[in-house]
Amino acid sequence: MEYKIIRVSKELEPFISFFWELRGSQSKAELERVYPDGCSGILINIGSKCMTDNGSLSMDSGKTYVVGAMNSFKDSIIETDTHLLGACLKPAAFSNFYCYDPQSALSNNTVEFEKSKSFDIDRVIADPFNYFECFFTDRMKSSYNPLQPVINDIDAAKGYMGIHELSQKHCTTVRQLERNFKNYIGLSPKEYSNIIRFQNALNIIRKSDHNRSLSDIAFECGYYDHAHLTNEIKRYTGFSPSLL
């Protein structure tokens, strides 16, 4: 399969991580496994039907879908004539473009968007990424993200920060923080922090080329021991660390 990432404009950078395009291989169908990263996304299928959500959903050609934040891995079957394009939104940025149900209603799910909120397939086919720039710029309702200071602290600590500490620092209660995370991200603050910590560990494992012990990496990332790290990696990826 062929996967491309396209940078967004400076105006959209605070809200969208990148645009992307995925095409199937010309020779055979392939399995694509996506790991949790705390982000939601919006995509359109301009190829043939595509199975996703671990085989529970078939995405129809011409339809736009919203993908909620995940707390486990997700498999899709990329056929030879699969062609998907989309935007990876930054955590809690969905509400900058859409009024929608709490994001917890979308967690771990891919949901077809109503037509009024969907991409225009003809414009996507003609010039996808310039169209995406215009689409999201025109749809922006607000530049305010009430969770951004909290997200910044979690990201800076690489997920190794207690929820009580976060709530005290930001002058709120744990309950209110949990409610805001469920509404704007779809995950609890603890789930989000664990995912950021996992992503940090995953990045270290990949860069180390397996030259570092799991115990060292576990200690650096704030896990109890290598067994704790191994269990978290299996939960989020379905693989043991040695297979990454």
Q: What is the pLDDT of residue 175?
A: 96
Is residue 24 scored above 90 in pLDDT? yes
SS3 106: coil
- β-sheet with 74-78: strand ranges across: 30-34, 74-78, 50-52, 57-59
Question: What pLDDT score does 212 carry?
Answer: 86
Q: Tell me the whole-structure pTM to 2 decimals.
A: 0.93
Q: Is the pLDDT of residue 228 over 90?
A: yes
pLDDT digits (tens, 9 = 90+) for 149-201: 999 999 999 999 899 999 999 999 999 999 999 999 999 999 999 999 999 99
**What pLDDT score does 48 carry?**
92
pLDDT of res. 239: 94
**What are the Cα distances from residue 99, in Å, to 18, 54, 117, 140, 186?**
21, 28, 10, 11, 14
In order of start, what are the domains of the chain with their CATH numbers?
A: 2-139 (2.60.120.10), 148-243 (1.10.10.60)
Q: Is 60 a residue whose pLDDT tops 90?
A: yes
